[in-house]
Amino acid sequence: MRLRNVPHAKRIIARHPDKIVSLAGDEDIVLNDRFPEEKPLEMEIGTGKGRFIHTLAKANPSCNHLAVEKFDNVIIRALERVVEDPLLNLLLVRADAENLKNFLRPRSVKRIYLNFSDPWPKKRHEKRRLTHPDFLAMYKEILKPGGRIEFKTDNRKFFEYSLKTMNRAGMRFLFLSLDLHSEERLDNIMTEFEERYGKDGPIYIITASFEEDHNEENVQGTA
């Protein structure tokens, strides 16, 4: 089933209420409750065409997954994938990231993935960067104790910026690489973007948490 060239994305979205929710911002919806089974919740913000989160959800049936994307015409590409290969533990969400906390129970998210988010390089767009201090403050509210943010980018300036904002927000760095593809990590799920552009330069990654984490299993790269 190909949805690609359908002009009325909104109509397509409305046709699949079990797979995708579109949120203007003021709805009275709790996303945590929209899965058939209650499980720990992971989410990707800026999910694009959805390959990463679909692969993750498939590999990780013990968690529920939210795939958040702002644009109708992008998220229908992810919807296409989900319609072809439905997963009960994956829900697509068409929403602005800044509204997310209206739809999530506080301290309910285990992991937030930010993959190749728009770097918004101009200073005047700084507030739109998904690692801006205001976004980090929101993530802090929705993350569980010990919950983590995993941030991947190929944009050096954006990574430098994010190391600083995460450090200053009091986050604890757990795993960090300035060249992810040189690491022996078998658990890396590539996004479409990463596969296409990952050869042009290094991919930067950081996993960080707001809490002290005494389970050091994921503290790699310290040797």
Q: Where along the sequence are the contacts to its own copies (CB under 8 A)?
A: 123, 126, 156-157, 159-161, 163-164, 167-168, 171-173, 176-179, 204, 219, 221-223
Beta pairing class for 20-22 and 90-94 = parallel
What minimum distance in Å lies between the beta carbon of 36 and its own copies?
Answer: 39
Is the CB of 11 or the CB of 123 nearer to its own copies?
Answer: 123
Catalytic residue among 33, 85, 118, 179: 118
- Chain centroid to Cα 142, Å, comes to 13
- State how far the Cα of 108 lies from the Cα of 100, in Å rounded to an integer: 12
Tell me the two tokens of residue 103. Answer: 């739809």
C-alpha–C-alpha distance, residues 155 and 100, integer Å: 25
Q: Is 96 a catalytic residue?
A: no
**CB 88 within 8 Å of CB 56:** no
Residue (8 or 164) nearer to its own copies, CB: 164
Closer of 71 and 197 to its own copies (Cβ): 197
Report d(CA 85, CA 83) in Å as an integer. Answer: 6
Distance in Å, CB of 186 to its own copies, minimum: 19
Q: Identify the sign of the CA torsion 70, 75, 78, 83.
A: positive
Kindly tell me which of 71 and 173 has the beta carbon lying closer to its own copies. Answer: 173
Tell me how far, at minimum, the Cβ of 176 lies from its own copies, in Å.
5
CB 51 to its own copies: min, Å: 27
**Catalytic sites, residue numbers:** 118
